[in-house]
A and B are shown apart, each in its own frame.
Chain A
Amino acid sequence: MKEIAVRVGGQAGDGIASIGESVSRSFTRMGLNVFGLNAYQSVIRGGHVWFAVRAAERPLHSQGDHADILYALDHQTVEVHAPILREHGTIIYDPEKFTLTPGDVPAGLQLMGVPTLEIARKYTSQSVLQNAAGIGATAFLAGIPLDVVQNVLADSFGKKAGEIVQWNVGASADGYKFAEQQGFTHPRALSARGAPKLLMTGNQGIALGAAAAGCKFLVQYPMTPATSIMHWLAAHSHALGIVVKQSEDELASINMAVGASYAGVRTMTASSGGGFALMTEGLGMAGMTEVPVVVVDAARAGPSTGLPTKTEQGDLNLVMGAGQGEFPRAVLAPADPVEAYRLTIAAFDLAERYQTPVIELTDFHLAEAMEGIDRSAFDFNVPIPSPYTVEPNGHDYRRYEDTESGVSPRALPGQPGLNHITLSDEHDEWGGDISDIRVGIPQSIAIREKMMEKRMRKLKGLARDAPPPFFEGPTDAPLTFVAWGSTVGAVRDAMEILEEKGKATNLLRFPTLYPLEPDRVRSMFDRTRKTLLVEGNYSGQFAKLLRAEMGIEFPHQFLKYDGEPFYPHQILERAEEVL
C-alpha cells in the first residue's frame, strides 16, 4: 500500500503553510488521497513551524507516523524531523543557507542540496521565491508532474498576479529539473490515478455545511482555530446572500445570533473554548427562550489561553455544562471534513426542529487539517423548510404551548395577530412572566414545573433524531476502540496497521455525544469484548459522560493532553498492550 509523506519546515513567516498546501493540492489534483497538517506557533514571524503531507491511493485519516521527503528551510527542521524519516528518506535543503553532511543525519538518508536561492535570484530579489524552487524539487522526488505543480502555484496567486506567476512557474521548473539531474527519485513516488479530488479543512466543511443548511447569518469574533469558518463565509457572503458579522465580542456573537434567529433566520456562531465560555449565558437564554442556534466550539488546548495553536478535546465538559440551570441541548462532534459538512447540516436541522441550541464540538486538528475528498461526498440538495410555521392571527396563540414533544408553535415577529413576549424569565405557555409577582404562589409553582418538563422533554426527541453511534470495521473483534471527533482519524489509521499485522479491531464512533439513547448505546457495548477509549484530554470527559448517563465503564483508556494530535503508532502501542 504505497504512500508518500512529505514534510516541510522552517521559521514562521517562511511560507511553510503555502508550500504545504501547494504540495497537498498537487496530490489531490493527481486524484490521490491526502492528509495535510499545518503545525505552527502563536506568532506571525519566528518560531519553528512545519507542514506534514501524506498522500496515497487508499484513504488516509491522519498525518501518519513517518516522512519520506523533508524539505528543510533551516537547520532546526533537520534536527527536529530527520529522526522520523524512514528508509530512502531524502532531505532537500539549500547549501547556501546551511551546510549538511551525511554525518549530521541518521544513517541511510539521502541529502539533496538544491540551489533554491540562486534559482530565485534569476527572477527577483525577493528571496521567498526560493520556495517555488524547493517545491519543484520536492515535486520531482514525490512523483508530482511538473505541469501539475506549476498550475497549482499559478492558481494560488490568482488571475491578477502577473509576473509573480511567471517567476513561480519558472523557479519551480528549475528546481524540478535540478532534482531530475541528480539521478535519483524516491521509490515511494506516486503517479496520477484519476479525477482530481477536493482539498478541504474541517472548518471549510462546517462553513459549506452551514451554507447548504440555509444559514443566512454568521456572527463571529476572531479566535483560533475557529476563525477560518468566518473567512470562508465572508469571502462568499455576497455571492451566497449570507450576512457575515464580525462582532465586538462573543457575548455579542451569541446574542446577535439569537436575535437574528428569533427573526426567523438560520444562524450560527463559532469560536474556540475561550469565546464559547463567554457565550454561556446567551446559550442558556437560547434554551430558555426556545430560539434555535448553532454554536461551534473549535477547541484548542486549554485551560485559559493554553496552547492557542495546538489541539485538545478538553471542552466537552464546558459545552455540556455551559449555562446556569438546565435546558436541552445537543452536542455533535464530527471526525473529518465530510462529516463536519454533514453534521453541520444535522445541527441546523435539530436546532430548528427542537428550537434549542445545538453545539458542534470540534478541535484544532479537525479545524485546520486538510483532507482529499471526492466531489460526490457533497450533496447540496438539503431540504430547508420555511421558517413560517404558524398561521397568522392565531386564536389563543401560545408561543410556549405545552406539547408532547416539548416543541411549541413558533411565530415570527412581523406576523399579524401572533404578538407575544419572548423572555428569559420563567414564563407560562403564553409567554407571561411568572418570575416577578407570581412566583412562589401555588399556581406558578405548577407552571414552573410544567415548563421545565416541557423544555427538557425535547431531549428525548433529540436523542432519537440526532446521528446515532455506529461501528466501523468488523462486527466482531477482540478489541473495540471508542472515540469521537478528530481522534477517530488516527484510530482508523491504527486499525489499518493492526489489520496488516493480522489483528482485527473495530471502532465504536459517536457523531453525537449528547443526548444519547442509553438502551441503544448499552446494547452496542454488549456486542464488544474489550474496549479501549481514546480521547484527547486529561480526565476522560466522554468516558465520564457515558458512565454517568448509562453506567458504562472503561477500564482501558488512552488519554492525551500534550497539545499534539494522536499519532497512529501511539494508538497501536496502547492497543497491543490491551490486546
Chain B
Amino acid sequence: MAESAAAPIVSPAGPQFPIIGKSHVKPTWCPGCGDFGVVASVEMALKRLKIPSKDVVIVSGIGCSSNLPHFLSSYGFHGIHGRAIPLAEGIRWGNHTLTVIATGGDGDGFGIGVGHLIHAMRRNVKLTYVTMDNQIYGLTTGQASPTSTMGAKTKSTPFGVIEAPLDPIALALASGATYVARGFSGDVKHLADLVAGAIQHKGFGFVDVFSPCVTYNKINTFDFFRQRLYKLESSGHDPKDIVAAWQRSLEWGDKIPIGLFYAVDKPTYEDLEEVLAAGPLVNQPSGLKGRESLLDEFV
C-alpha cells in the first residue's frame, strides 16, 4: 500500500460523546403533522442505541419531511429532491463506521427517486431509510403522489387520481430489501422499535411510515389509519417468512398491517466490497507513491 496520508486528528477512542438530542432548530411542520412523530421516533431509537451523535448522519432530499435532519443534533446532509439514497450510499462507502439514516417523503423516495431506492435495496447497503409517507405532495401545496389513493382529488388531479398507487412494501420485497417494515407516526413507541431494528439491522433497513398530512390529505388522516391498522407482531406473522410477508403486503382496506414484514441476514454491500475491509475509506492510505511498477503494464 502507498504511503499513508497524514494521520487523522480524531482519535477513535475519546471521552463519551453526547448522544443525539433535539437541535436548536424548531420543526417547521404544520401543527399536527405526522412528521413530528417520526422525528421523535428517530430520536428515541438513537438514544436507546446510545450511538454518539458525531457518528450519525441524517440525510434527506426535498419535501416537508426532508427538513428532518435540521431538528436533531447529529450531522446532517439536506440534499436535493429524490437523491437522498445515493447521497447516503456515498457517505456510507466514504466512512462505513457512520450510522447513516436517510429520510424523506413518498414523492422523494417513490416518485423522483424510486430508481435509486430499488438499487440500494438490492445492493443491501447498510442504511436506514425512513419514509414519511403521507400520500400527497405537501411542500408544493397538494398534488398527487405515487402512493395517493385512486380517485383522490388533488390540485393536480381535480377529477381524481386515475393511477394505481405504488405499494412500497411489495416494492421493497421485490427489490430484495432485507428489512421491510411499516410504522405509523401516531404510534411513536412502536415506530421507534421499528426504526431501532432497522438501524441495528445488518443491511438496508426500510421503514415506510404512514405520516398523515393534516393540511392537504383529507383521505388518509390519523383517524383513517387508527380505524384500520393492526400490528403484525400480535397477529402471528413470522418475519422470516417471505411468502407470508408478500401476502401481508397485499392487505389494504378495512385492515392494514404495520410492523416488521420481513427481515433476513445477508451480506451487506460493504461486507462484499473487499476494499472496505481495510477500514473506513476516509482513513485509508491513498496515492501511488512507490508504485512506479504500475507503469510496466503500459510497456
Q: Could you list which residues of chain A lie within 8 angstroms of chain B, going by C-beta atoms?
A: 28-29, 196-200, 204, 208, 211-217, 219, 236-238, 240-243, 245, 247-249, 251-253, 255-267, 281-282, 285, 289, 373, 375, 378, 380-382, 384-388, 390-392, 412-425, 432-433, 436-437
In-complex Cβ contact of A243 among B25, B52, B55, B276 (8 A): B276
Which 5 A-B residue pairings sit nearest by Cβ, starting from the closest? A259-B90, A263-B94, A260-B94, A214-B286, A386-B6
* A382 and B75 contacting across the interface, CB-CB below 8 Å: no
Known contacts A199-B298, A432-B25, A256 near B87 by CB under 8 Å:
yes
30 contacts between A and B (CB under 8 A): A208-B294, A238-B275, A240-B288, A241-B1, A252-B89, A253-B86, A255-B79, A262-B77, A263-B90, A263-B93, A263-B280, A267-B90, A282-B83, A289-B79, A378-B292, A380-B292, A382-B287, A385-B6, A386-B7, A386-B8, A412-B282, A413-B55, A413-B95, A414-B10, A416-B17, A419-B74, A420-B76, A421-B70, A423-B78, A424-B80
Candidates A29, A380, A432; contact of B299 at CB < 8 Å: A29
- Roughly how many angstroms separate A28 CA and B74 CA in the complex, as a whole number? 56
Whether the Cβ atoms of A213 and B6 lie closer than 8 Å is: no
- The 8 Å CB contact of B53, one of A216, A265, A419, is A419
A382-B288, A436-B67 as given contacts; A238 in contact with B298, CB under 8 Å: no
B119 is an interface residue with CB less than 8 A from chain A: yes
Would you give the shortest CB distance from B153 to chain A, in whole angstroms? 28
User: Which residue among B1, B10, B92, B291 has the maximum number of chain A CB atoms within 10 Å of its CB?
Assistant: B10
Most-contacted residue by chain A among B75, B95, B291 (CB, 10 A): B75
Query: Residue A261 contacts which of B1, B94, B278, B286 (CB distance < 8 angstroms)?
Result: B94
Asked if A260 meets B287 with Cβ closer than 8 Å, knowing A255-B83, A416-B10, A419-B75, the reply is no
Q: With contacts A243-B275, A381-B289 known, is A421 near B87, CB below 8 A?
A: no
| B17 → chain A closest CB, angstroms | 5
B79 close to A384 (CB less than 8 A) = no
Instruction: Judge whether B78 and A421 touch: CB under 8 Å.
Output: yes
Contact of A248 among B28, B69, B115 (CB under 8 A): B115
Q: Which residues of B contact A436 (CB under 8 A)?
A: 28, 67
Q: How far is the CB of B218 from chain A (nearest CB, A)?
A: 25
Closest to B90 in A: A259
Which residues of A lie under 8 Å from residue B291 when comparing CB positions?
Answer: 240, 380
CB-CB under 8 A from B91, the residues of chain A are: 259-260, 262-263, 413
Q: Are B9 and A391 in contact (CB under 8 A)?
A: yes
Q: Is the CB of A211 within 8 A of B288?
A: yes
Give the contact-size bracket for chain B.
Answer: 35 or more
Chain A residue numbers with a CB within 8 Å of B2 are 240
Q: Which of B268-282 contact A (CB under 8 A)?
A: 273-276, 278, 280-282
Q: CB-CB < 8 A to A415: which residues of B?
A: 9-10, 54
Candidates A216, A390, A417; contact of B281 at CB < 8 Å: A216
**Complex alpha-carbon distance, A158 and B216, angstroms:** 65
B282, A281: Cβ atoms closer than 8 Å: no
Q: How far is the CA of A257 from the CA of B281 in the complex (A)?
A: 13
Contact A265-B275, Cβ < 8 Å, known A258-B87, A414-B55, A437-B28: no
With A241-B285, A243-B281, A248-B116: A217-B7 Cβ-Cβ less than 8 Å: no
Contact (A241, B93) CB under 8 Å given A258-B87, A388-B8: no
Are A378 and B282 touching (Cβ within 8 A)? Answer: no
Extra contacts, 17 of them, besides A241-B275, A260-B93, A380-B291 (Cβ < 8 A), are A196-B299, A211-B287, A211-B288, A248-B115, A259-B59, A259-B94, A262-B90, A263-B93, A263-B280, A281-B83, A385-B5, A386-B9, A387-B8, A388-B6, A390-B9, A421-B69, A421-B77
Q: Which of A219, A258, A390 has the largest count of B CB atoms less than 10 A from its CB? A: A258
CA distance A241 to B277 in the complex (A): 10
